[in-house]
Amino acid sequence: MKANVLFAFIGGAVTGAAIALLFSTETGAQTRQKIKETVDSEYRNLKEKYAEHMKKQASESIQSPETEPQA
């Protein structure tokens, strides 16, 4: 049941995006440039957040190492 809701949501999002692109007042080149800039910006943000997350995890594991496994 959850998969159906997810697919419906994704399908609605894709359909909405397609309709928005069709009725856009910008040229195709402008729209593609805008999409590229947005994707690049979000990619950079995601990389930064991931790097911060990994630094935090590494710092936490150094500060409190796990106990050694018992033989």
Give tens-digit pLDDT for 14-67.
999 888 878 888 888 998 898 899 999 999 999 999 999 999 988 888 877 665
Instruction: Show the 3-state SS of the chain.
Output: CHHHHHHHHHHHHHHHHHHHHHCCCCCHHHHHHHHHHHHHHHHHHHHHHHHHHHHHHHHHHHHCCCCCCCC
